[in-house]
Structure 1
Amino acid sequence: MNLDELQAVARAIVAPQKGVLAADESGPTIKKRFDTIAVESTEKSRRRYREIMFTAESIERYIGGVILYDETLRQSTRDGTPFPQLLAGRGIIPGIKVDQGAKPLALCPGEKVTEGLDGLRERLVEYHGLGAQFAKWRAVIDIDAHDLPSPFGIHANAHALARYAALCQEVGLVPIVEPEVLMDGAHDVERCEAVTARALEAVFAELDAHGVGLEGVLLKPNMVVAGKKSTRQAGVQEVAEATLRCLRRHVPAAVPGIVFLSGGQSAEEATAHLSAMNAMGPHPWQVSFSYGRALQAPVLAAWRGHEANAAAAQAALLERARLNGLARDGAYGPEMESAG
């Protein structure tokens, strides 16, 4: 696949009103989600939960791509249709999470680096054969008021992201590059903006050094928000302005789209921030979403593991996706949450 073909896939994922459903939770993470609704996490329950989402009527209007987990990429619907085939048949591009998690960065207390580069080329070839057209790798950047992250911690994660992205493009997959500055801690919004800027600058320097074609990349960054423990939480407009200022300074216009992670925000907060940013457009890149919890929390609450609730769960996903589709046009308002 050449760069023009990669760019076409990237653009299709972030087509107008569309974004990404992140359904790539690892085994421990999906167990935590299921624990909140008292559902046992088994292969059967995980498969059925994902099937309910992937077969929800009309979600293709708002969902351009779905990130799958290794197990999910290999699963099928009850009638035997592989999930990647099901999604592709609906015009939704299937993708795959390929990193193997963030581990402590040696000799750097409090910092982590994402592992999974060993054997990645071979895994990417297999995933491509199973129907994936894009991939995702998440780097975790811890932040505090003064010392974290270190310059080396940022560099180590940026370098790994670039190596991953180059391998993806080599085998014909669009890489989603995710440098997440965490919103844990007590830092203010200004500190988050400064660290996010440093992380983005390092990532794009490494992508350039590795020869990655930016036209065939999607960026999945955090929004610029204060830490959860901060005494001053920024309002919606302040978050939108700080985030866009940071992106305009550090994200090249060649990137087709930015698909924000929700990063612990509520579904309503993530949608409001996205809408505020799009209302300030146009932008050099598509400004979209790649949400996990912010799309799935209402689905889990409606489903609760009961087959009789499947239709309600699908309706909850469609409604959340619709609201984010409106946010892609800067047309979402909080009053829509109760309007249905």
Structure 2
Amino acid sequence: MMNKAHFLLLSLFFFFISCKEKDEKFSGKTSGKINSISVIIDDQLWNGEIGDSIRNKFAAPVIGLPQEEPLFTINQYPVKLLEGYMTNARNIIVIKKEDKNHFEIIENEFATPQNVVHISGRTVIEILDNLEKHAPEIIQRIRQTEIAENQRLIDTFLIDNQRIIKEFNISLNIPKGYKYVMEKDKFIWLKKEITSGNTSILIYQVPINAIEIHPNSSVINNIIKMRDSIGNLYIHGTVPNTRMITEDAYAPYLSNTKIAGKVTYETKGTWELENDFMSGPFINYSIEDLANNRMLVLEGFCYASSKEKRDLMFELEAIIKSVKFLKNK
């Protein structure tokens, strides 16, 4: 009887130890670089049509950059490597050819924060159909996670934003390294020096109807005119008669979105210094703030001639999307 009791206690002990180890293994924090995806797929599928489809969708060129850079950095691993350290990746796509047609996104399956996408099919065609149908949803989910992760990293060390609050009645989480380089009436310019260049954030406001004031002109043209007028006023190079303008060789991309629940125009394109050699990408958010009868404009741009710019611009996007509109006093 005593031996049975000891055996039962020993079994329970190992059961709880096993559960604890499993919980520790699968409840940790995710790791990995921003905008990376681990694709778990066997080499045979990766080297065929399915791999081509994945690369075309998830490594497509980022809109608005002067050079081609992929939307996400993709790392491929065979299915047998799903266990172990691979489970700590923040974004995982698991693709299998098996006896079911299946699509599912599981949140925090092995760690947190995490997206694990499961796609399977009986044939290559079924898997391709799943990719075609669900790619936009997957991309949106991963981008939201990466924005949140970028904001989490930024929130660790922030600069004092009391000047921004006082001037615009908004809060904005801006990381250490940014300096106030210009402050005018309803205009603030912050800049951070980086290796071989810099990143900048502009905050300003224009009348609520400034972007849609001319019924015979398009929204994008009015945003370009607005940007160029701000560049003419405040953003100049060290060479005389230089100012920041929207580069007309590449047509900017315009889309509609919402920030802080407000209607927003998102514009991506490239800028240049007129009569100078400097140029780079920008992302402009013109936010309709009806309560204050204004269009609040938040823009990020960078100059980094010898660096890839995807993640620099993504950080600027994350900073801008941290904006909160404060209650009027």
Same-fold call, TM > 0.5? no
Structure showing the higher strand proportion among its residues: 2
Larger radius of gyration: 2
Normalised TM-score (structure 2): 0.27
Q: Choose between structure 1 and 2: higher helix proportion.
A: 1
Q: What TM-score does the superposition give when structure 1 sets the normalisation length?
A: 0.26
